[in-house]
Structure 1
């Protein structure tokens, strides 16, 4: 029997004439959490008496005896308690609640003076985490060891509003030992039952005690079938070295290809954590390959020599005493398709100060220093790309990937900010500095190089452009609110950049150069929030806003590579920034006026809707923002929406008509009324567990037609619908509307209750990046409460 536990029902009843507070002669005066001093006993019963040191109380099945002592509570039809020895005996629907939340039910319970040993018959125990343990007899040998006979254990509820029910999963055994030193429950002759039906037998079995956060043992396996790997099972084993360290050994066994061994090591230190994850296999590549040259790829072909294949995904974070902290990531793989071929999970994570995007791994070392008024970061990183640069139309296994030599080594990258403690001229002053050095081995053209720097003809053998930059910026802003509520924010901004560039293309006539540019700006932001109460449960907020700024010319020298400003997410927040590009390499100048308005409607506390519309106008066009089409450098287009005198319209909305439905919409619309980019998502819930999410995204910024077109349009749907009780269906799908194909789809039958979830379904993958081509197969996702592991997302 585990520690015999806090009151789990309605608390102590009010005292009555039959309530007997009793205290042993040795009791101390310091009261416990229940207000009783050690050794004291509180009893509430229909009838109670005391003979010497023995208290006897009796009640009825409908009105049982209630007693409290040593932070434990007892209910039973009859109770005897020896005040001198501390021995208690409860019989008749006996119930004992311990301080940790565990509740024990039995027909009879006998406990020693410390409540650390005892005997119970017809035991039923509800543990603090909701699991249940039942036995015909139970003997608690010590504080840490309990022996139980004819046992049933289940992590599932055994009762609902309709009374007792069959648990989804249970273990039945002749004998079980709960050893809290080992932090485990050990079984002899264990029979596993699902819905009461026996499905598996083991002569011996063990699992962690339900109170254990983690313990060594096997976790829930991952079952899968893929046309490239065949049948696949991954069996994770967790080895806990100490409370601060563990190993996860997870071999993936495949029927058609070589196995993959996955390892993970985690260690927590006083100031931080290190996680090292890796995998290894020895075998050939496999996938769709046109062996006979007939223009059609044969499926699941093994090709190439057997060789070592591996990956490493590691990160560490350390928060030192004082303002400093540091960390690292180390991410590399021997094969650009290893993750895809073996379906390695959770490979692209944001674990450092900087992060690569989908299908790019990053290795970095960084340090940060942050105080209330200052910030400094110093970092260095390199990347490995797993992106496909050119898709092979016949053989996905021969896709051409992005060359890692075209990606720069960034070392160092320094960012610093500082603000004085008090106001300066009544406003906030901020100083900012930045420095970076980029070294690239191989040539890369657009959009890194300006159109006039891109050499005609072949670029094979050209070196990559190396660059270094130092920037300094001063930003001052003050907020003034007029008596009528008009908000004025005048601002001044000045910035200086110094660039050094090497290995420029030969057509420039110069190999390296150093040049300086600067920009000074001044302006004012104006907003006027308007509030109106529409009813007792609704209100409307209107917020028109505008910005007028004047700057010197941007001086965008074509020799400056565009490394950090190639993508721009124009939205309601970036529209009013002085520097709307995310980096330093591109900047705006001249006279500019930006206006927008936001309307927010709120009603019934949890319901709301908002809409923002805005646009920017400048005095002159900014042709430097035009970018060559990658496959046709003589043609230019505007990916930013800021090159013309009038920017794209920015439209953004959120809506939540109930606490079960919410949505979001964002779009940039060019001056011709065409959507350049757009995205919307709607999430909904109904019933107790039914849910669905629908997303739509479109990009029309690429003007090329035909096979070189890089526009995209996707719809994604995921949802779960329970049809009968705990049985339901789950669907996931992504449709590529541009190519008119379902790129990914899943449909499965699921069972889900409070402790057990299993999903069995069919999956098809048509993504072009997969080296094995289109694939379909059966998947199983399993989640067992208490027994360890999940594997389900």
Structure 2
């Protein structure tokens, strides 16, 4: 009993500081002989735990020698090592080594957990004991988020400070209602016994019921869960339910293996009533300088006939699977390397089995990209080397048309100009090499004297050309078969001079060189056809493009006080270059995306890649006007055009992909481009940009949209965009493209919200005509089966949409969404997949998703039938 004697001695010494105090009497706090102290205190080393002391503070200490007890009364506070006990009254029984606390009892553990109750009976180190009206609050910060969990029980027991048992207890991560704390939380688990093991950081529930708003919704005879302090722990994860015509009804039961602090393994078998067992596993490891993972999936199908037979599906395969890996490594502060790889047995596997590819964010995959890279970045330099492999995941893709790109090397370096030259000198270099087995052709729409389809339902439609022999008027070459290697380098200089009037003059010059080695393959095309591309160079070809130019800007600035600062800035740019040569005789792989608008008006070279280079003497003219007020109002407007002065217009002569034609730049005086942007405040922004025909000011391209957050006046956020693009038949777009996309979220209360999004195709009836004409063209070439039929869907078509509602607070997230997403089917008929998605997350317990397809789709990609 040495420990008891020592504690009694310390507390007794405190009492003896006042000699007049009788045994069993009360020692006033101000008579403790401690100058300036409001409360008495005492401390002693504890045997077996050097450095730990029992410190006592209270308004008064009562020492009862007859009963062998010491009582701290009035704001009693006892400290033992990292634990603190607070109560209205604390009595220490020396004989039993027990501490009895009553009234507003509060025990704070070493991990910050707070235990409260009406009465506590504890050992003298506060580790073990019984607690009446037990309540525990545990606070944990994970990933910057504060999580609070709460236990409660009429009576509980602490065992050695490592385990707490709750009889008929409850557990929740929800905050109590401030106005009505007696109400049950949004969710809680009520169990006959709850055991919280602080050593293993596990919570065990026996004979438990999950309650929502006090209503039982699920019964679980036994389950366990990691407490919020756990970041990684072996055990079962939230299961996932599956329901599909092709797969049947199923359940995915993932199990997480915490093998070591730096690596783990997750096995996720899926038991499918129609296809058997789909095995999935993911291994992850974090190293000192990075991390990597490896994920594999596979199944021996029991009902392959649920999928279409080849070549339209994988119905003739018994085994199907995939392998994926992602790695990120930092060599040093300037260099990093990594990879993102995916391999599949067939193009439909990921979609059919709803396996979310790591590099794709949607559920409906159309392409998987594998890449490996090395990246270096300095103060004013950048280096990147990559390789790419593209795997087409749609039934329309022919893998032989997909290129293997290896390597792609980019280097960019900027330095200050030497001596009197000053300014900035920039060096850019690119090396690209790619190989594909078959040329990727696209037929242009038949117009004029070309044939139309036979009449169906009294309507005929223009047919697309079939490219058996290359002709610039009927075919585009999206990708050339064979090997194409190009090395490019550009050295440029620019310097800005600003005179006393505020005029900004920027002379610049650059020298661009390109070397091509082309080894085209003119064989290997679908249906054994052999198209010819006689105009493409074969072997080594070089190209040099020098340029000099000047950029002139003269901003006029006026401050109108409350009306803001107004700036009018005329801009003129002139670039002198020789004409581009070898147009149409060189491949074009990386410069097929050409958009002429306000963002590209003053670019030195308007082509998007290295395979094309802009030539000739050209001037770019425009002006912009802006207003900025002290209240935060901002407006900007810009208008201009580009004019070819001399030499060959690079945009007038289309290459083998017709890039440049129908761009708005093919005429000597280009289309006009403009932009208007208005932001009344930081929460609202409206922008409109357009391209107008140079001859009659007809709108050839138009985009407008708004993004807005109206809080705190209105709990609404939205974005809406309308786009219109005129037909570009020489680029393969036979009709205009027009559509609207919009999203909105409205917070009904701080917790309840509704949300929705829509993608409206305003030219879908033209799309269906195109799809029909393509299908009919194939039928005429190979009349197998029934003649394709056509149904006009009408002017407006809801291509995709979602509506939903949900609830979110500190402990719960519930959302219900109805999603309509487009699917491009193997029949060429546009179908929509309709899905109801319910997601429930109970913080600290887990989350569950329930996804159910509704409606009927005729033929999904690779699937014989789907619902």
TM-score of the superposition, structure 2-length normalised? 0.72
Matched, 1:274 2:287: no
Aligned match of 2:135: 124
Of 629, 638, 644, which aligns to 2:667? 644
Q: Distance in 1 between matches of 2:713 and 2:99?
A: 44
Give, in angstroms, the shift of residue 673 of structure 1.
3.5
Change (3 A) 1:551 1:71: farther
Contact 1:451/1:627 (8 A) holds in 2: no
Q: Distance in 2 between matches of 1:223 and 1:648?
A: 55
Q: Distance in 1 between matches of 2:152 and 2:324?
A: 44
Aligned match of 1:142: 160
Aligned match of 2:392: 385
Of 485, 489, 492, which aligns to 1:475? 492
Deviations 1:659-702 (A, max 9, x none): 65455555444433314253535344657995554433535254
> Which is further off, 138-147 or 316-325?
138-147
Deviations 1:752-777 (A, max 9, x none): 44322333454444533488944435
Aligned match of 2:456: none
- In the TM superposition, 1:640-679 aligns within 5 A as 640-652=663-675, 655-657=678-680, 661-662=684-685, 664-671=687-694, 672-676=697-701, 678=703
Of 810, 818, 821, which aligns to 1:754? 810
Contact 2:616/2:650 (8 A) holds in 1: no
Q: Distance in 2 between matches of 1:688 and 1:80?
A: 56
Contact 2:87/2:105 (8 A) holds in 1: yes
Q: Distance in 1 between matches of 2:494 and 2:730?
A: 46
Contact 2:837/2:850 (8 A) holds in 1: no
Aligned match of 1:19: 38
Aligned match of 2:613: 587
Change (3 A) 1:103 1:416: same
Aligned match of 2:584: 558
- In the TM superposition, 1:674-713 aligns within 5 A as 674-676=699-701, 678=703, 680-684=705-709, 691-704=716-729, 709=734, 711-713=736-738
Contact 1:693/1:717 (8 A) holds in 2: yes
Q: Distance in 1 between matches of 2:43 and 2:403?
A: 79
> Which is further off, 67-76 or 781-790?
67-76
Give, in angstroms, the shift of residue 316 of structure 1.
0.9
Q: Distance in 2 between matches of 1:111 and 1:756?
A: 35
Q: What runs of 5+ residues in structure 1 fail to find an aligned partner?
A: 1-14, 28-36, 291-300, 351-356, 388-399
Of 433, 446, 453, which aligns to 1:437? 433
Aligned match of 2:329: 318
Contact 1:222/1:781 (8 A) holds in 2: no
Of 466, 489, 498, which aligns to 2:515? 498
Give, in angstroms, the shift of residue 550 of structure 1.
2.3
Q: Distance in 2 between matches of 1:114 and 1:666?
A: 73
Change (3 A) 1:411 1:518: same
Give, in angstroms, the shift of residue 171 of structure 1.
0.9
Q: Secondary structure at the match of 1:576?
A: coil
Change (3 A) 1:65 1:114: closer
Q: Distance in 2 between matches of 1:90 and 1:596?
A: 80
Aligned match of 1:6: none
Of 362, 370, 374, which aligns to 2:377? 370
Give, in angstroms, the shift of residue 478 of structure 1.
2.3
Q: Secondary structure at the match of 1:335?
A: coil
Of 60, 69, 81, which aligns to 1:48? 60
Change (3 A) 1:163 1:586: same
Q: Secondary structure at the match of 2:611?
A: coil
Give, in angstroms, the shift of residue 41 of structure 1.
5.1
Change (3 A) 1:51 1:322: same
TM-score of the superposition, structure 1-length normalised? 0.78
Contact 1:377/1:414 (8 A) holds in 2: yes
- In the TM superposition, 1:20-169 aligns within 5 A as 20=39, 22=41, 24=43, 39=53, 43=57, 47-49=59-61, 58-59=73-74, 75-79=86-90, 90-97=101-108, 101-109=112-120, 117=128, 119-128=130-139, 129-169=147-187
Aligned match of 2:368: 361
Give, in angstroms, the shift of residue 593 of structure 1.
2.8
Give, in angstroms, the shift of residue 273 of structure 1.
1.4
Q: Distance in 1 between matches of 2:812 and 2:713?
A: 17
Contact 1:225/1:779 (8 A) holds in 2: no
Change (3 A) 1:358 1:780: closer
Contact 2:69/2:93 (8 A) holds in 1: yes
Change (3 A) 1:709 1:184: farther
Give, in angstroms, the shift of residue 475 of structure 1.
1.6
Change (3 A) 1:237 1:481: farther
Aligned match of 1:601: 628
> Which is further off, 466-475 or 256-265?
256-265
Deviations 1:147-178 (A, max 9, x none): 33222001222223454432222111122222
Matched, 1:788 2:846: yes
Of 551, 557, 568, which aligns to 2:594? 568
Give, in angstroms, the shift of residue 88 of structure 1.
7.0
Contact 1:153/1:171 (8 A) holds in 2: yes
